[in-house]
Amino acid sequence: MRSSISIFWRRKDSYYKVLLTRCKRCGRASFFARDVCPYCGSSDVSIVKSSGRGRVVSYTVSYFRTDSNEEYLPLVIALVRLDEGVYVTGELRDVEPAEVREGMEVEAVLRRYSSDDPYGLIYYGLKFIPVIKRC
Ligand SMILES: [Zn+2]
């Protein structure tokens, strides 16, 4: 990911928060933040922040290598149904691929995505991790 610092700053909310569009006409939520409801076309919408919690619906394990992801392979890419009823895809971290299960509770957290070079910007973004149960 290469972009200027100013562009990255302007887009930071979409990189660091799970933002949803909640329609005031039909009441449905959708992922991502936008000006128009994708279901009914209404522009009477509000942007809300998701809890970032949900459950794994399905997942796949990727061994596809790029210039910037070699240290993270294999990647677990999950389809997550958020508590708000919205489906999103994202990388699942802090879990071995063999431990991933459909229905697993996950939450969105900030994790490193990439860096421009060894001395450049380090980019962070949202990824999912299993929810840690506390007693
Ligand atoms: Zn709507």
Q: What is the model's pLDDT at position 15?
A: 84
Pick from 86, 82, 93: which is nearest to 130 by CA? 93
Taking CA 94 as the corner, what is the angle to CA 89 and CA 95, rounded to the nearest 5 degrees? 80
Distance 1 CA to ligand 1 centre (A): 33
CA–CA dist 111, 28 (Å, integer):
29
Predicted model pTM: 0.84
**5-12+52-130 has which fold?**
OB fold (Dihydrolipoamide Acetyltransferase, E2P) (2.40.50)
In angstroms, what is the span from residue 78 Cα to ligand 1's centroid? 26
What's the gap in Å between 27 CA and the centre of ligand 1?
6
Triad 39, 50, 123: Cα angle to 5°: 110
Report DSSP letters for 49-77, one per residue: E---EEEEEEEEEE----TTTGGGPSEEE
pLDDT at 73: 85
CA distance 15 to 109: 11
From ligand 1's centre to the CA of 24, what distance in Å? 7
Q: Residue 88's pLDDT is what?
A: 96
Ligand 1 centre distance from Cα of residue 14 (Å): 21
The count of other CB atoms within 10 Å of the CB of residue 113 is 17
Beta strand pairing call for 105-115 and 53-62: antiparallel
| pLDDT at residue 135, rounded to an integer | 67
Residue 12 Cα to ligand 1 middle (Å): 26
How confident is the chain (135 residues) per 10-residue block, as mean pLDDT? 76 88 96 95 97 97 80 90 96 94 96 77 88 76
- How far is ligand 1, taken at its centre, from the CA of residue 57, in Å? 24
Contact 93, 127 (CB under 8 A): yes
The protein residues having their C-beta less than 5 angstroms from ligand 1 (an ion) are 23, 25-26, 37, 39-40, 42
Tokens coding 105: 């509770």
Sequence spans of domains, the chain: 5-12+52-130
